[in-house]
Structure 1
């Protein structure tokens, strides 16, 4: 996942960014509204997370401008405490979830992740594509009941593509989701990662999950089972065909 966190650190116990990064999330941060708007326009974020120290008009306006600007990903607001009127203002502005006085960073992470998963069309706790199951909570991938041994970067690539099932991602876009623009290697490294991922999945009998779109990038597709192929329309009985033919002849004779 890649998320944008907006707002100032709430206190010296605020380790939200560090915690999200420990969960293999690429994080961009800013406390400037205009910069947040520019980042949201330029990058494909999975979610925007707002730290709310107070419901100032600038923060409410940012939520509205993000939505007016066409931002489709979930917006989640987090606050230590918030009165009822302030909560209503934040919800009315267009956030998808409001978390007040969370018991742990794990709760915030899971609620954001659930919003991301559902926004991408996955209702179950795991991303299931064909016979491959991607457990976003454990950051593990299974073929049937067998875990696939992947590196962190390899797992991230599969998760990134799976969340955007059916959409082509360029190598540059994948790199951005892996490194966040910091110390990015040559884009050709993505070809190497994909090759290794394919070998590991196919060795365990996985469906051919990742397709190459030549000249554009890679995408995850779900192969349709032959069982879903449309069945041929059964032929009509000979007697029924004869009856229709005779009826047509009688009509022509009558005219």
Structure 2
């Protein structure tokens, strides 16, 4: 899953990026409101962590701009403000969840996972499909009760496809959601990873829709 992290405190942003990356997210960062607004309008993210106290453009204005543009990705707002009126203002502007500073990085990760689950129409933390179970938080995949060893990248790809089970996912969409922007991407990389997943999970679990992409379920 690809996440946009918007935080102007470089040390806090570094810690959060590390925690999110270790949890299996592909992370892109923005350090001010203008950069965040542009990224949110031009790139696709599964979720956003958005600080409100940003230079150049306040976080609430960034959020309103995204929502006016029809950008509906889940947004977790971070803020040092304590007043309940500030929380209400953020939620009314289109935030999906709210976390006050100081906080633990693990809570940010857990809240993001919950937001992604809800946006995909799911409630359980474990994704299940025809005998295949994936626990993204634990990084564990099982086929008919037997654990299958997957790399971090394979887990990311599988999680994205399972969140969109029943839908066709193009190679381009899949790459956009499992790689951060600055990482080099090669055209045949996704085919290699999908082939590995098929060998480990069973060829029938990930179907190729010729000329369109991949589908699970």
* TM-score (norm. length: structure 2): 0.89
Q: Deviations over 1:49-79 (max 9, x none)?
A: 112348x983222111111111122111012
Using the TM superposition, give the Cα deviation of residue 191 of structure 1 relative to its aligned residue in structure 2, in angstroms: 1.3
Match of 2:180 in 1: 180
Q: Counterpart in 2 of 1:159?
A: 159
**Pairs within 5 Å for 1:81-160:** 81-101=81-101, 103-160=103-160
Q: Residue 209 in 1 paired to residue 205 in 2? A: yes
Matches within 5 A, 1:191-230: 191-202=191-202, 208-221=204-217
Q: Is the alpha carbon distance of 1:25 and 1:68 closer, same or farther for their aligned partners in structure 2, counting shifts above 3 Å?
A: same
8 Å CA contact retained: 2:134, 2:140: yes
Q: Secondary structure at the match of 1:150?
A: coil
Does the CA-based 8 Å contact 1:175-1:187 persist in structure 2?
no
Q: Does 1:50 align with 2:50?
A: yes
Q: CA deviation at 1:103?
A: 4.2
1:13 offset after TM fit, Å? 8.6
Residue number in structure 1 paired with 2:190: 190
CA RMSD, 1 decimal: 2.4
- In the superposition, relative to structure 1, how do residues 167 and 40 fare at CA in structure 2: closer, same or farther (>3 Å)? farther
User: Structure 2: 5+ residue runs without aligned partners?
Assistant: none
What is the distance in 2 between the residues matched to 1:163 and 1:41? Answer: 22
Q: What runs of 5+ residues in structure 1 fail to find an aligned partner?
A: 222-255
Contact conserved, 2:33 with 2:57, CA < 8 A, in 1? Answer: no
Contact conserved, 1:126 with 1:135, CA < 8 A, in 2? yes
Q: Tell me which structure has the larger Cα radius of gyration.
A: 1
Q: Secondary structure at the match of 1:153?
A: helix
The number of equivalent residue pairs is 217
Partner of 1:69: 69
Work out which structure has the larger RCO, using CA pairs closer than 8 Å and 6 or more positions apart in sequence. 2
CA distance in 1, matches of 2:41, 2:59: 17
Write the distance in 2 (CA, Å) between the matches of 1:162 and 1:193.
Answer: 15
Q: Is the 8 A contact 2:46 2:177 kept in 1?
A: no
